[in-house]
């Protein structure tokens, strides 16, 4: 029986789905987490304590663990563990991406530099160093072009990503982004990324790299405009309604990006903008789509995205990579304001909407929550399936209209 080490941050949404995938494939699992007691009870999985915030320490600990309990593959389910997984896999001779390539996916400035070296289409960008004076920030905004977007180099889920429409606004946005990044644990001396805002439709490409070849699994539309000033994602719908040429453009650009970064194995999740017959890479991650969004994907053999990833990692036949015929989608329930989360009403009414298949509220009442860009989480997820993508979108919008989010303001 193959044995896989899953690197699972204790706060991840993904534990249950990956463990169920392992059970379906008859793969033995060891859970690696900074708080293994929080996850070890899931489906009887063994657990080992790892410091996922320290990739080097995690990689060393995994290599040491393998001496007494050999493992056949290492899979990181979220951004937090991807560098450690690559480094440990390299040391153990397991299937892996280059640690340097994976590290570039976790640093937007490094990613931009590598894409630029290979002339991959992307927004014009510059670096804002720590301590940059207002005049310097204004000049950088003019250089990349207005409007522009300012973001931390190492955060995800749109946390700290803000648009500025003038040089003066860029100065104030830099202060806000810096505060958000520092609050999230980023080094106050770390540079920020400033890039030109690219208008157009945003899509997400889910793919699986096998021996350097990218298999595109699906392309998601993001029907709600993402024009700023903040960039909270709310909906994914597949199959994409881009035309044939546009689909070819985004899938080819995803392949170019993975190659430019040096990725060769495992899942990729790419975000791109499309407009006027052109496309630009916004970012690419060496992982699957975040949150519970992968539950919108079912493949022709009935396998889930997590099953495809684990099968690839341990060398099992992945089965069909063709997605099911029905359209599908997911709504991320947004956080409308900061405060104490009390609950979500109207769930039964949302479930009664034709096409809605499930509603999952993933944050417990009583927790303090913050919307994007200060926050990086969602209250939950709503799933839909229907014959056509427009029917999926309609169902998700109707479900959203009947959900009642209750948040108490206050300190």
Where residue 390 sits, what CATH number does that domain have?
3.30.470.20
pLDDT at 320: 85
Determine the 3-state secondary structure of 116 from DSSP. Answer: helix
Residues 36 and 89 in one domain: yes
Whether residue 181 lies inside any domain: the answer is yes
Confidence of residue 76 (pLDDT cuts 50, 70, 90): very high
Confidence of residue 53 (pLDDT cuts 50, 70, 90): confident
In angstroms, the CA 296 to CA 306 distance is 12
Whether residue 145 lies inside any domain: the answer is yes
Q: What angle do CA 279, 128, 269 make, to 5 degrees?
A: 35
> Of the residues 180, 196, 212, which one is the last residue of a structural domain?
196
> Of the residues 166, 196, 226, which one is the last residue of a structural domain?
196
Provide Rg for the chain, Cα atoms: 21
Q: Is residue 152 within 8 Å of 193, Cβ to Cβ?
A: yes
Whether residue 118 lies inside any domain: the answer is no
In angstroms, the CA 66 to CA 89 distance is 11
CATH label of the domain that carries residue 83: 3.40.50.20
Residues 60 and 137 in one domain: no
Total count of domains within the chain: 3
In angstroms, the CA 204 to CA 206 distance is 7
Residues 82 and 149 in one domain: no
Enumerate the β-bridge partners of residue 269: 206, 285
Whether residue 254 lies inside any domain: the answer is no
Q: 44 or 119, which is more confident?
A: 119
Nearest to 352 by CA among 404, 294, 402: 402
Q: Is the pLDDT of residue 300 over 90?
A: no
Whether residue 384 lies inside any domain: the answer is yes
Q: What angle do CA 206, 120, 109 make, to 5 degrees?
A: 85
In angstroms, the CA 206 to CA 198 distance is 21
pLDDT at 411: 56
Q: Is residue 185 within 8 Å of 236, Cβ to Cβ?
A: no
CA dihedral of 67, 70, 75, 78, whole degrees rounded to 10: -50
Residues 13 and 79 in one domain: yes
pLDDT at 249: 97
In angstroms, the CA 258 to CA 265 distance is 10
What b/e string do you get for 66-86 counting C-beta neighbours within 10 Å, with b at 16 or more? Answer: beeeebbbbbbbbbbbbbbbb
CATH label of the domain that carries residue 148: 3.30.1490.20
Average pLDDT over residues 64-72: 95
CA dihedral of 79, 67, 100, 270, whole degrees rounded to 10: -30
Average pLDDT over residues 155-164: 95
Residues 97 and 7 in one domain: yes
Confidence of residue 11 (pLDDT cuts 50, 70, 90): confident
pLDDT at 266: 96
pLDDT at 182: 97
**Burial category of 277 from C-beta neighbours within 10 Å (exposed 0-12, middle 13-18, buried 19 and up):** exposed
Q: Is the pLDDT of residue 269 over 60?
A: yes
* Residue-wise pLDDT tens digits, 229-249: 999 999 999 999 999 999 999
Confidence of residue 410 (pLDDT cuts 50, 70, 90): low
Residues 85 and 143 in one domain: no
Whether residue 91 lies inside any domain: the answer is yes
pLDDT at 317: 87
In angstroms, the CA 113 to CA 193 distance is 11
Nearest to 334 by CA among 157, 77, 154, 148: 157
The first and second tokens of residue 396, run together, are 């998700």
Average pLDDT over residues 263-277: 97
Confidence of residue 42 (pLDDT cuts 50, 70, 90): low
Residues 89 and 142 in one domain: no
Q: Is residue 75 within 8 Å of 97, Cβ to Cβ?
A: no
pLDDT at 181: 97
Residues 95 and 129 in one domain: no
In angstroms, the CA 45 to CA 162 distance is 40
Residues 42 and 95 in one domain: yes
Whether residue 287 lies inside any domain: the answer is no
Enumerate the β-bridge partners of residue 196: 148
In angstroms, the CA 300 to CA 319 distance is 9
* Residue-wise pLDDT tens digits, 88-115: 999 999 999 999 999 999 999 999 999 9
In angstroms, the CA 271 to CA 279 distance is 10
In angstroms, the CA 58 to CA 157 distance is 24
Whether residue 259 lies inside any domain: the answer is no
The first and second tokens of residue 388, run together, are 């056509």
Residues 100 and 143 in one domain: no
pLDDT at 301: 86
> Of the residues 104, 136, 165, which one is the last residue of a structural domain?
104
Residues 135 and 45 in one domain: no
Enumerate the β-bridge partners of residue 333: 380
Cα–chain center distance at 289: 5
* Residue-wise pLDDT tens digits, 342-364: 999 999 999 999 999 999 999 99
Strand 73-76 with 3-7, pairing: parallel
Residues with Cβ within 8 Å of residue 352, at least 6 apart in sequence: none
Residues 11 and 80 in one domain: yes
Domain that holds residue 359: 326-411
In angstroms, the CA 328 to CA 323 distance is 10
């Amino acid at each position: 029986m193959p044995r896989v080490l899953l690197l699972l941050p204790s706060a991840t949404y993904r534990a249950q789905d990956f463990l169920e995938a392992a059970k379906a494939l008859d793969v033995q699992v060891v859970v690696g987490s900074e708080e293994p007691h929080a996850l070890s009870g899931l489906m009887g999985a063994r657990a080992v304590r790892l410091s996922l915030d320290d990739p080097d320490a995690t990689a060393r600990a995994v290599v040491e663990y393998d001496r007494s309990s050999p493992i056949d593959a290492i899979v990181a389910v979220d951004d937090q563990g991807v560098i450690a997984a690559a480094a440990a896999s390299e040391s153990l001779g397991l299937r892996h991406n280059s640690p340097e390539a994976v590290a570039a996916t976790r640093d937007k400035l490094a990613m931009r530099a590598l894409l630029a070296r290979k002339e991959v289409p992307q927004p014009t960008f510059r670096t804002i160093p720590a301590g940059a004076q207002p005049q310097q920030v204004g000049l950088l905004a003019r250089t990349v072009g207005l409007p522009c977007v300012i973001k931390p180099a190492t955060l995800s889920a749109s946390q700290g990503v803000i648009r500025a429409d003038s040089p003066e606004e860029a100065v104030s946005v830099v202060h806000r982004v810096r505060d958000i990044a520092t609050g999230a644990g980023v080094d106050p001396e770390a540079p920020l990324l400033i890039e030109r805002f690219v208008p157009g439709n945003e899509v997400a490409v889910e793919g699986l790299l096998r021996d350097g070849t990218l298999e595109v699994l699906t392309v998601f539309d993001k029907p709600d405009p993402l024009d700023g000033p903040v960039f909270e994602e709310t909906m994914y719908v597949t199959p994409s309604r881009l035309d044939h040429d546009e689909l070819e453009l985004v899938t080819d650009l995803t392949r170019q990006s993975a190659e430019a970064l040096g990725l060769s194995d495992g899942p990729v999740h790419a975000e791109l903008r499309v407009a006027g017959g052109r496309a630009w890479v916004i970012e690419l991650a060496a992982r699957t789509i975040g949150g519970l969004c992968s539950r919108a994907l079912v493949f022709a053999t009935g396998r889930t995205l997590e099953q495809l990833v684990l099968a690839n990692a341990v060398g099992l036949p992945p089965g069909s990579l063709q997605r099911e015929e029905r359209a599908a989608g997911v709504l991320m329930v947004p956080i409308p304001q900061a405060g104490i989360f009390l609950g979500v009403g109207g769930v039964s009414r949302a479930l009664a909407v034709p096409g809605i298949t499930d509603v999952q509220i993933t944050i417990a009442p009583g927790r303090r929550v913050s919307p994007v860009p200060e926050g990086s989480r969602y209250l939950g997820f709503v799933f839909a399936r229907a014959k056509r993508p427009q029917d999926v979108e309609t169902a998700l919008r109707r479900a959203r209209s009947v959900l009642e989010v209750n948040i108490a303001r206050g300190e």
